Amino acid sequence: MEQDKTQETKKKKKDKKEKPKKSLKREIFEWIMVPVVALALAIPVRTFVFEPVRVDGQSMMNTLQNNEFMIATKFDYLLGDPERFDIVICHYPNTDDGMYRVKRVIGLPGETIELRGGELYVDGEHVEQNFEMTPNATNFGPLTVPEDHYFVLGDNRNNSRDSRDSMVGPLPRDMVCGHVRAVVFPFNRIRTVGGEAE
């Protein structure tokens, strides 16, 4: 009887010693799993849903300012195509820096684009540009946008490397990655942005 009690006491002590080991293992597992799950969710969200992007430079003034943070949605271009005056994030040909450029879609596939004194002409017809563009007297074109390509410009046409540059040119559709929807930082400048009606 005495021996049974001693064995039972030893077993209880052993159980008490083992429990912290189990909870420590569980705690370590949970600490590892939290970032793993967060990463597993973040990758498809950034690939297919939306992505935060920082404005780097003055090429989109006056619409966007240097160092503003924006949200660009991606799912709309998985289901459809960019439209005129959408603000987009895109990659440039012959660059592998992994950085997005932020520009505005001006010309669609097959259209002939021309700028005369800063005014936009599409297939010979004048098109109003109803957005906060930096004043300019730009002349360019005419240029016919190839099929499955988009002609993009910065809103600050006096200081923007865009589709007017022969090293960039009209962008293939797969280089247009997302549709800029809103500025989210700094907090005192939160606002929606996007395509203005023609």
Residues 6+ apart with CB under 8 A from 105: 82, 83, 84, 85, 86, 87, 88, 150, 151, 152, 176, 195
pLDDT digits (tens, 9 = 90+) for 92-101: 987 777 788 9
Q: Judge whether 103 counts as a catalytic residue.
A: yes
Indicate the helix (H) or strand (E) that contains 102: strand 101-107
Catalytic residue among 17, 21, 25, 103: 103
Q: Which two tokens stand for residue 114?
A: 């021309």
If you ran DSSP here, which 8-state letter would residue 192 be given?
E
For tokens 């684009």, the residue is: 113
Q: Judge whether 22 counts as a catalytic residue.
A: no
Stated pTM of the model: 0.73
Which pLDDT score is estimated for 185?
A: 87
Instruction: Report CA torsion sign: 188, 189, 192, 198.
Output: positive
Q: d(Cα 74, Cα 166) in Å, to the nearest integer?
A: 27
Q: d(Cα 37, Cα 134) in Å, to the nearest integer?
A: 44
60 touches 102 (CB < 8 A):
yes
Q: CA nearest 99: which of 53, 49, 168?
A: 53
Mean of pLDDT values over 44-50 = 50
Mean of pLDDT values over 173-192 = 91
Beta strand 176-185 with 69-73 is antiparallel
Is 70's pLDDT higher than 60? yes
Q: What is the mean pLDDT of the chain?
A: 82
Is 81's pLDDT higher than 80? yes
Which value, in Å, is the radius of gyration of the alpha carbons in the chain?
28
Beta strand 191-192 with 119-122 is unpaired
Catalytic residue among 59, 160, 163, 166: 59
Q: What percent of the chain has pLDDT over 90?
A: 49
Beta strand 101-107 with 149-153 is antiparallel
